[in-house]
Structures are given as structure tokens and as C-alpha cells.
Amino acid sequence: MMFGHELIVAHDLSGTDGLLLEIGSERGGGSTFILAMLAKAQGRPFVSVDIDINQTAKAMRLVVLAGKGEAMCCDGVKYVESLFVPIVAVYCDAFDIVGARTILRYGKGYEVRGQEFTEEACHSFYLNLAKAIIPNLVPDGVVCFDDTVNNKGQWQGKGAVAVPWLLENGFEILKSFTVDVTTCSGGVLLRHERL
């Protein structure tokens, strides 16, 4: 099975300075450790942000194990809005909303922190995140959405609203993959055409 963070790993970020940022720490796919190791190999900073303190604690252990990075417990959009550093790549993987089991497992943690755990809240979150990323994204910087697929011309999943907005605002798709449309298992990697 392929995971969205593999699109960033496969993309050549060399020669470009900036922060490697993960919004939504890993929940079993290995992204936090893998991206921390990538940042270490490239000599760049890495931060994993999650709204759930338990996930942040797990992410902290992983970045310590990797020897690179930080884990922050806060709202991803607010974190990005507070940044004044160049960003080379953002991996978007918060709001795992597919299926009732996932909602029962993670939804309560989001709601305790004042954030709805619904598809609409997910789409709003990622649209606001996309808008917040742009001021700090370096030339040739990339944005990657996990759990996002194009089904017969319609974007579905986490990036269902943000991806079309980014495409309308000068971004291009570098690569995408689909494993299963019914579960939105897939990913898309975008870059701004004129940055």
C-alpha cells in the first residue's frame, strides 16, 4: 500500500531550503518518522503538528528516535499562521474521517479541543490551511494531501475543497495516486507554478 507522504519522499527537494512540516502526526503509516529522517538527511528543520496530545507524545518519541525535529500540540492552521519561516513542503494528514470506527477513535479528541470532527470541518480546515501556507511557501515548495483522490473529475477526501482552490490559484499537480476511491485512499502533490 502506498501512503501520501511517499510523494514528498520521492520528490526532489534538494537545493531548496526551508521547513518540512507535517500537519497531523502519524497514526500508523510511518509518516512522522520517515519525514523526520528525510529532514535529517537533507539538513532541514522538521515539525509535526497535531491537535491530539496523545499523538503529539507519540510524534515526539519518533522525532527523538530519528534525531531530528519537533512535535507540537496545537491547531495546524493556527500554527502555520504563526510561522515566519520558509516552508519547503507540507504534508497534510490531519482529520482521518473515513468510517465510523475512525470517528469514534479520534473524533472525541478533536471535539474536546473545540474542533468539530466532520467532513465539512475537515474541508474548511484544509482550505484555511492552504491559504495560510502560501505566504511562507518557497519557490518550488510543495503541498501534499493524503487521503485525497480524483474520482471522475471530482476531488474527494481531505483535499476535496483545498485542492481545487489551489489549482485555481496557480498550483499544478506534480503527481497523484489512487488506491481506493471509496475510502479516499490516495494522495496528491502540488506545486505553485509561479512561486
Q: Indicate if the pLDDT at residue 69 is higher than 70.
A: yes
- Does residue 108 lie in a domain region? yes
| pLDDT band per the 50, 70, 90 thresholds, residue 62 | very high
Strands (E), 122-183: 137-146, 148-151, 154-157, 171-180
pTM of the model: 0.88
- Does residue 139 lie in a domain region? yes
72-122 pLDDT, tens digit each? 999 999 999 999 999 999 999 887 655 433 444 444 445 545 556 577 888
State the total domains in the chain.
1
Q: Which three cell numbers stand for residue 21?
A: 512540516
What crossing angle do the helices spanning 31-42 and 53-66 adopt, rounded to 10°? 40
Return the pLDDT at 178. 72
- Does residue 12 lie in a domain region? yes
| Between 181 and 53, residue with greater pLDDT | 53
Least confident of 21-30, 46-55, 111-120, 145-154: 111-120
- Does residue 190 lie in a domain region? no
Q: Which three cell numbers stand for residue 79?
A: 500554527
125-172 pLDDT, tens digit each? 999 999 999 999 998 899 999 888 889 999 988 899 999 999 999 999
Identify the domain containing residue 32 by its residue range: 5-145
State how far the Cα of 56 lies from the Cα of 49, in Å rounded to an integer: 7
- Does residue 159 lie in a domain region? no
- Does residue 11 lie in a domain region? yes
- Does residue 189 lie in a domain region? no
In this structure, what CATH number is given to the domain that contains residue 59? 3.40.50.150
Return the pLDDT at 183. 73
- Does residue 133 lie in a domain region? yes
